[in-house]
Amino acid sequence: MSKVPILAARGLVKRFGGVAAVDGVDLVVDAGEIRCLIGPNGAGKSTLFKCLTHQHQPTSGHVLFEGRDLQGLATHRIARLGIAIKNQIPSIYANLDVRENIRLAGLRRWLGKRQLNRVVELTLDEIGFDERLASQPAATLSHAHRQWCELGMLLASSPRIALLDEPTAGMTREEMLKTVDVIKRLNASATVIVVEHDLEFIARLAQRVTVLHRGKVLVEDTMDKIEANEIVRDIYLGRKKEAAHAEG
């Protein structure tokens, strides 16, 4: 582990009107980690995600990438630092074929033509796309394949850190298992932060889990400990009031 964390959030706050969707989050992610952010609906996961990637300007607080403040950087500048982002809604080039999608992601690295082609074919292999799928327009792909296409774009761009917002939303269990593999591939060379609902997915993937609740970090621990944590269970089962009473 390096001394400077690859991504750190300090006192992150995001208000929408009077509501603080993210309410003072401190987060430290070390290089090489797979970190999962979980929490019940409305816990502020997606807002935190958008703040970490500076798609939302935080109301206050800072996001540091390897010690460098992302404040004021344009979206493409943030991407060029090596931060790859997959939003909740798949964002791919629908009318271009999958190979072109992947190629455009790799093109930013200014590799030679031959090496770029190698990266593209390797990536297609890594996300398990055969020739028929690779030459299809992305718009004709199934939902899961679109997610994998986008993950492939992240792979091909060779990021330092990849932030994924609900990469398994709407997937069957088998598709989810394949996604686990793809994300592990991504993790071979990059730090990964995943926002997810699916607890099995997280258990298979994450080393450390950060639980959000009402815009704040509730606990941060390994998945085993999180699963055993009474408060987390209560929140997830919607027994917050009783839990609060028990605490009180």
Provide the phi-psi class of 44: left if phi over 0, else alpha when psi is between -120 and 50, else beta.
left
Min. distance of Cβ 178 from another protein in angstroms?
A: 15
Q: Which is nearer to another protein, 21 or 153 (CB)?
A: 153
Q: Which is nearer to another protein, 13 or 104 (CB)?
A: 104
Q: Is 143 in the site for another protein (CB under 8 A)?
A: yes
Exactly one of 92, 151, 180, 235 binds another protein (CB under 8 A); which one? 92
Taking contact as CB under 8 A, which single stretch among the options 26-34, 37-45, 140-148, 176-184 is the one that binds another protein? Answer: 140-148
CB 157 within 8 A of CB 108: yes
Q: Which is nearer to another protein, 19 or 94 (CB)?
A: 94
Q: Is 114 in the site for another protein (CB under 8 A)?
A: no
Rule CB under 8 A: which of 151-170 touch another protein?
153, 157, 170
Q: Is 140 in the site for another protein (CB under 8 A)?
A: yes
Q: Is 37 in the site for another protein (CB under 8 A)?
A: no
Rule CB under 8 A: which of 94-113 touch another protein?
94-96, 100, 103-105, 107-108
For 99-127, give the DSSP string: HHHHHHHHHTT---HHHHHHHHHHHHHHT
Query: Which tokens is 248 given?
Result: 């009180």
> What's the order of all strands across the beta sheet hosting 83-86?
83-86, 161-165, 191-195, 34-38, 208-213, 216-221
Q: Which is nearer to another protein, 32 or 137 (CB)?
A: 137
Q: Is 68 in the site for another protein (CB under 8 A)?
A: no
Please provide residue 186's backbone torsions phi and psi, each rounded to the nearest 5 degrees: -60, -40
Report the alpha-carbon distance of residue 13 to residue 69 in Å, rounded.
15
| E strands in 129-230 | 161-165, 191-195, 208-213, 216-221
Min. distance of Cβ 190 from another protein in angstroms?
A: 15
Q: Which is nearer to another protein, 94 or 246 (CB)?
A: 94
Q: Is 117 in the site for another protein (CB under 8 A)?
A: no
For 151, the enclosing helix (H) or strand (E) is helix 143-156
- DSSP class of 97: B
Q: Is 177 in the site for another protein (CB under 8 A)?
A: no
Q: Is 91 in the site for another protein (CB under 8 A)?
A: yes
Q: How far apart are the first and last CA of the chain?
A: 39
Min. distance of Cβ 119 from another protein in angstroms?
A: 14
Give Cα 160 to chain centroid, integer Å.
Answer: 13
Q: Which residues bind another protein (CB under 8 A)?
A: 74-76, 79-80, 84-85, 87, 91-96, 100, 103-105, 107-108, 136-137, 140-144, 153, 157, 170
